[in-house]
Amino acid sequence: MIFDVKNKTILVTGANRGIGKAILEEALHRGAAKVYAAVRSIDSADTLVAEYGDRVVPIRVDLNDPDSITAAAETATDVDVVVNNAGVLKTSSAISSDAIESLQFEMNANVYGLIRVAQAFAPVLK
């Protein structure tokens, strides 16, 4: 199945590197009109803006900061597609002194953060 993104506005979380960057670039290659690069640090998207110009719009989204998610949804009201890609990894063994804190950090970003993004953008996508 192929999803057509031509002339659509896409938001990709974690768009500055890895899979998120690949998704952003492929969306542009397939004709997306604009891609919001949802990143923790706006500066981390500078190379994407330099390469793709105003088709890439950096927007701050930190999955551990619910206010940043809400603000992004209030700003990016023209989004057609959300790719909820961002995540974190904090390696720690189960018997490490920071095991609980590491798991809480990962759960907050990788579970609750993704749910917050979905909830924040649901009204925009209807």
Extract the tokens encoding 74: 């209030």
Mean pLDDT, range 95-103, rounded to an integer: 93
pLDDT band per the 50, 70, 90 thresholds, residue 8: very high
For the purposes of burial, counting CB atoms within 10 Å of the CB of 117, is it exposed (0-12), middle (13-18) or buried (19 or more)?
Answer: buried
| Cα distance between residue 92 and residue 113, in whole Å | 20
pLDDT-above-90 percentage for the chain: 90
Q: In the structure, what pLDDT confidence band is assigned to residue 92 with cuts at 50, 70 and 90?
A: confident
Residue 10 pLDDT: 98
Which pLDDT value is given to residue 1?
54
pLDDT at 45 over 80: yes
Q: Which pLDDT does position 124 carry in this prediction?
A: 83
Three-state secondary structure call for residue 104? helix
The CA distance from 114 to 122, in Å, is 12
Interval 106-122: pLDDT, tens: 999 999 999 999 999 99
Average pLDDT, the chain: 95
Beta strands 56-60 and 9-13, pairing class: unpaired
User: What does the alpha-carbon distance between residue 59 and residue 71 come to, in Å, rounded to a whole number?
Assistant: 9
